[in-house]
Structure 1
Amino acid sequence: MASILPASNRRMRPDKNTYEGKRSVYVKNPYLDAMDEDILYHLDLGTKTHNLPAMFGDVKFVCVGGSPNRMKAFAQFMHKELQLEGDGEGIEDICAGTDRYCMFKTGPVLSISHGMGIPSISIMLHELIKLLHHARCCDVTIIRIGTSGGIGIAPGSVVITDIAVDSFFKPRFEQVILDNVVTRSTELDKELATDLLNCSREIPNFPTLIGHTMCTYDFYEGQGHLDGALCSFSREKKLDYLKRAYKAGVRNIEMESTVFAAMCGLCGLRAAVVCVTLLDRLESDQINLSHDVLVEYQQRPQLLISNFIKKQLGLCGQMS
């Protein structure tokens, strides 16, 4: 097995696309420069068909989440929060030519859906990172916002990830490349996590904590669910596993954070993962919330990120 690749480009030789005083978006592919055209197929964009620097050069914040509807709602919310012209209701999907992902731009904020699971978000991230590189974006912060299952914490709690871990509670992402297993670091930006936590304290009645996030390849068996079509373990083994996860520092479970942390770190993106918990997995396997409470919980990460972005842009006179 290969050594763990570092998550930060500060430990690597700077690439030729480093702009003085700026943190640029890296691509780790020597073949891209020789390509006459780069087609971002799953985003319905390309270097010849679109003027990517003109379209995206001012992007400073990228927010990604699984659901297309929630990412559109977040874009509309940011449109209002940034006090942009119009009501934002007619905001257009930049990726309307494909049904794989959706993308919306509101000022310097890009909102993109990534689907569910490591394969889906991985495809999106490859093309998103190339997009930011081709657009010559600098000093970009990328945040995954979503929902998750909590471990030992109350439903509605917002977890800011310090380290993404795999199903063995190890801070690593294993990628099969050809017939080799490459292991990459899942380190996230600690300063960004702290900034987000401090920002959450300015919102009343907003339970937030920093903790490890466990990323699995499956929702049911991989997360110890007793309610799937298949189950080959006992309730006691499930609880023992989740309690060991809690002891290892894991506070929530989702399905994208390890590859997100690994790819963003290698490509020079300041990254964070912010997920609300919808249940405590030590108590239940199924979400049992009213519609209104579920919607309110789902909006908590968006509210935190909105306030964080406004603060970064100097627009925090009135917090939501």
Structure 2
Amino acid sequence: MQQQRSLQEGANLPFICVGGSSSRMKTFSQYMNELLGLGRATDDIPNICAQTDRYSMYKVGPVLAVSHGMGIPSISIMLHELFKLLYHAKCTDVVAFRIGTSGGIGLKPGTVVISKVSVDPSFHPHFEQNVMGKITAYCTELNAHLSQELLNCSKENNEFDTIIGTTLCTSDFYEGQARLDGAFCNYTHEDKMKYLQRAYDTGVRNIEMESSVFAAMCKRSGLPGAVVCVTLLDRLQGDQIDNSHEVLAEYQERPQKLVGCYIKKVFCKI
């Protein structure tokens, strides 16, 4: 298996980082290439999984960057296959990160949220898995020590606002997130605002679509995991993003900068 051989060529692989977009994960691998002094940010990092279009995988020194697409089913499939790959490649002491974008609740756009726990749309801190008609609820708490270390990195650099908060994970981008701009909407603006305010009151600070299964599978496998997402807008102020492309591009670099800071600190001690 090409992927397994590629992993084994680097004796130690302590960090895996996953994100939705293939292009974003390639950019992240190039960023880490320069940050860790392994090459230049302009180097063309090869896609280990070029034979499939389901996801992309890039390896740079101690870092494996993998795309997972959008939503719980997509990231679940990828994580199953990635965790099996890590097992067969005999990778140990691995730390896992998910980086991405999200909608904020009561935060100014550009704020980075480090998730302490992922909750479902009813604000329960678990991920429900239906296996052969039997539903099992898995804990979705993230590693508290890792979250604090990431927050410390942010305080040291002080480039952008970063908080630790609760993340709401949904299985839908529109109605599941109380949006008014989808094809269907059977609720009012007032209903939406009441729901988002309830979310805020329970501690939710951002909304995305993958954190629950990521947290649950990290917990089940014993991997320390962190979810680091930047907020592109404040959902209490509306459903549409109104910042420029340049501003949004800079926002999307923030999670990779924060995770990169942590990885560099640990890598320099190895």
Q: TM-score, normalised by structure 1?
A: 0.81
Matches within 5 A, 1:194-205: 194-205=148-159
- 1:90 is aligned to 44
How far the C-alpha of 1:89 sits from its partner, in A, is 2.1
Quote the Cα distance in structure 2 between the aligned partners of 1:131 and 1:88: 28
How far the C-alpha of 1:288 sits from its partner, in A, is 1.0
Letter in 1 for 2:12: D
Quote the Cα distance in structure 2 between the aligned partners of 1:108 and 1:214: 31
Match 1:66 to one of 8, 20, 27: 20
Please report the RMSD computed on the Cα atoms of aligned residues, expressed in angstroms: 1.4
CA contact (8 A) 2:4 2:89 kept: no
The 1:50–1:243 alpha-carbon spacing in structure 2 relative to 1, beyond 3 Å, is closer
Quote the Cα distance in structure 2 between the aligned partners of 1:187 and 1:58: 27
Post-superposition Cα deviations, 1:229-256, rounded to whole Å, max 9, x if no partner, equal: 0000000000000000000000000000
- Select between 167-176 and 203-212 the one with higher mean Cα deviation: 203-212
SS at the partner of 1:286? coil
Quote the Cα distance in structure 1 between the aligned partners of 2:213 and 2:22: 20
1:312 equivalenced with 2:266 (yes/no): yes
SS at the partner of 1:201? helix
**How many residues in Structure 1 have an aligned counterpart in Structure 2?**
269
1:117 equivalenced with 2:117 (yes/no): no
Match 2:93 to one of 127, 139, 149: 139
Letter in 1 for 2:157: I
Quote the Cα distance in structure 1 between the aligned partners of 2:7 and 2:243: 44
How far the C-alpha of 1:86 sits from its partner, in A, is 5.6
SS at the partner of 2:37? coil
1:219 equivalenced with 2:173 (yes/no): yes
Quote the Cα distance in structure 1 between the aligned partners of 2:165 and 2:21: 23
Quote the Cα distance in structure 1 between the aligned partners of 2:169 and 2:39: 39
Letter in 2 for 1:78: M
Match 1:258 to one of 212, 215, 233: 212
Post-superposition Cα deviations, 1:74-98, rounded to whole Å, max 9, x if no partner, equal: 0000001111146552210000000
Percent of aligned positions that are identical: 57
SS at the partner of 1:259? helix
Q: TM-score, normalised by structure 2?
A: 0.96
SS at the partner of 2:157? coil
Instruction: Identify unmatched segments of 5+ residues in structure 1.
Output: 1-44, 316-320
Structure that is richer in helix per residue: 2
How far the C-alpha of 1:314 sits from its partner, in A, is 2.1
- 2:30 is aligned to 76
1:279 equivalenced with 2:233 (yes/no): yes
Matches within 5 A, 1:164-313: 164-313=118-267
How far the C-alpha of 1:287 sits from its partner, in A, is 1.0
